[in-house]
Amino acid sequence: MRTIKRDTLQPNVKKLASIKELCLAYSLEKQYWLQRFQAWDFQVQLDRSRTIRDRMIKEDYKSAQGLQARHWKLALEDAAEVWDKYWQSIFVQVRSKIARRKDLTETERHYAYWLLKSYSSFAALMQDKHPEPPFILEKTSQRHIVSYVRRLTRAHKGKAPIVKKFRSVRFDADCYDVFEEKGRQYIKLMSLTPGKRICIPLPGKTPIFGTITLVFSGDRVHLHIPQELKKKPLPKGSLEAVDFGYTEVMTDTQGIRYGIEFGTTLTEVSDNLHQKMKRRHQLHAIEKKQRISNPKQAKRLRKYNLGKKKQHAKAKSAKSTLEKQINTSINQLIKTKNPSILATEDLRHAFTYDKPKKVNRRLSSWIRGKLQDRIAFKALAEGFRHEQVNPAYGSQSCPFCEFVDQGNRIGDRFQCLHCRHEDIADRIAALNYARRVDDPEIGRYTPYREVKPILLDRFHRRLERGKTPDCSGQDSRNRNRDVSTIPIETKHHSRERAISQNRTVNQRTKQNKHV
């Protein structure tokens, strides 16, 4: 399923007021159920919200907000879904921590995962109980794992979910009617008054079915409508890997760049926003000073210079442009390569704040999140498998001789200090990601501090066996390319680092010869 956003024609003032009143009542009802679900007796049945609904019906529950029965039931289900997503996002982080623990036995690890499998066992452990697993495990180990999982959950647990904006309401198939009259499509939505529905005209004619959501955006009304995805034949391509970048959206294993205008757009949007906010901060300071001495001028500044309506519209437009470039790039990759498996870097921990402020501002975290989400969605829609791999040292290790060193990469250019293989750094990273899909030693959650020793150990073993790097896949132009453009000092120091790192290898090789 996918969600289609559909605009509506502007309803009149009376209908708009009725819709806003319904959104407020629904949001307050949803907030009520979000608070009720904080109790553990409700958390146990989080994945069975219908059981709670039936219990409320037997108790003759009536909505305090005046919602009709269908709507308070939808608010209850909506609140249960929010809590389920909240816990599932925490479980992902907890499972990754469990996977990295090397001191746990397989049975203990299995028990830790089992505790997070159902809400009944999870609610029990959070109440200082020790759920009994369907397999044999010592009591001491049970207590240890329960305590460990509880500590991890509390460490990653944030604030309880709440309704922040009262601007949406859900309707199932029994809460609305769709009809056409004089060539125009209309939708009738259930209101707070029994037997009375709100009729809204729609532009165009498209099928509407299932549970829909009405959303306010300013004074505009939108409908979010589910749409079934068409079944497509399984892709017949091979494994493909890409490296996400800044100047472009991504680069594949053949060095083909997708979305080359992405970096220019992102830089322009970020810098314009930065300059705009600097000027707004200055106006905010002036307005703050004028509040006492000249209140009328302060009011004018707030109204005509410090409004957020135009600012939000520009930000939304810029974000839509970047999202379009991301989607276009992914579609081009799928169309040209049609991969059966697509390997990408795990972006959850890729963004760090050790770069200059300007770079950190441009490398916005939502961009990486959008890339991750769109790839995951396209994998479901197109039928290929999406594999996320460990990105550590992806653009610093040679895919041919496996020598790793930070001096291998200079800017966007890669040149191995050992075998002299030369290419663009993004393509090198994509080639390494393709090799890590089935790598038994470098998993997705392997700490980056452990990745480099593994790569160096492989390189050392290759030297000791006397194997030369297989550079048959290199382009002859790359092998014979002039490297005089590399700064002399950088090349000199990088070569010294490589020699110092290989000194122990030479000593070990001599010892083996004597033996």
pLDDT tens readout for residues 370-422: 888 888 888 888 888 899 999 889 999 998 888 999 899 988 899 999 888 99
pLDDT by residue (tens digit) across 447-491?
A: 888 999 999 998 988 888 876 555 544 443 343 333 323 332 333
Q: Alpha helices, DSSP H only, in 307-447?
A: 309-337, 357-362, 365-382, 425-435
The pLDDT value given to residue 361: 67
Distances (CA, A) of 222 to 11, 104, 116, 169: 11, 51, 37, 11
The pLDDT value given to residue 504: 39
The pLDDT value given to residue 475: 43
The pLDDT value given to residue 469: 54
The pLDDT value given to residue 468: 52
169 pLDDT band, cuts 50/70/90, is very high
Give the integer Cα–Cα distance in Å for 248 and 261. Answer: 6
Structure tokens at 18: 């009725």
The pLDDT value given to residue 349: 56
The pLDDT value given to residue 90: 94
Average pLDDT over residues 208-230: 87
Instruction: Please check the confidence at residue 311 and state whether its pLDDT lies above 80.
Output: yes
Residues, the chain, total?
515
Least confident of 324-338, 348-362, 433-447, 466-480: 466-480
DSSP for 109-164 reads HHHHHHHTTSHHHHHHHHTT--PPPSS---HHHHHHHHHHHHHHHHHH--SPP---
The pLDDT value given to residue 502: 42
Q: Mapping DSSP to helix (H, G, I), strand (E, B) and coil, where does residue 252 land?
A: strand
Judge contact between 162 and 38, C-beta under 8 A.
no
The pLDDT value given to residue 366: 65
Average pLDDT over residues 144-153: 94
Average pLDDT over residues 148-171: 92
The pLDDT value given to residue 170: 94
506 pLDDT band, cuts 50/70/90, is very low
Distances (CA, A) of 370 to 11, 81, 134, 325: 33, 22, 40, 11
Give the integer Cα–Cα distance in Å for 39 and 160. Answer: 12
The backbone torsions φ and ψ at residue 177, rounded to the nearest 5 degrees and listed phi first, read -130, 140
448-464 and 488-514 are packed helices; what angle lies between their axes, rounded to 10 degrees? 60
Judge contact between 427 and 253, C-beta under 8 A.
yes
The pLDDT value given to residue 483: 30
The pLDDT value given to residue 75: 94
What percentage of the chain exceeds 90 in pLDDT?
48
pLDDT by residue (tens digit) across 480-505?
A: 333 323 332 333 333 344 334 444 33
Burial class (CB in 10 A: 0-12, 13-18, 19+), 112: buried
Instruction: Please check the confidence at residue 279 and state whether its pLDDT lies above 80.
Output: yes
Average pLDDT over residues 278-293: 91
The pLDDT value given to residue 362: 65
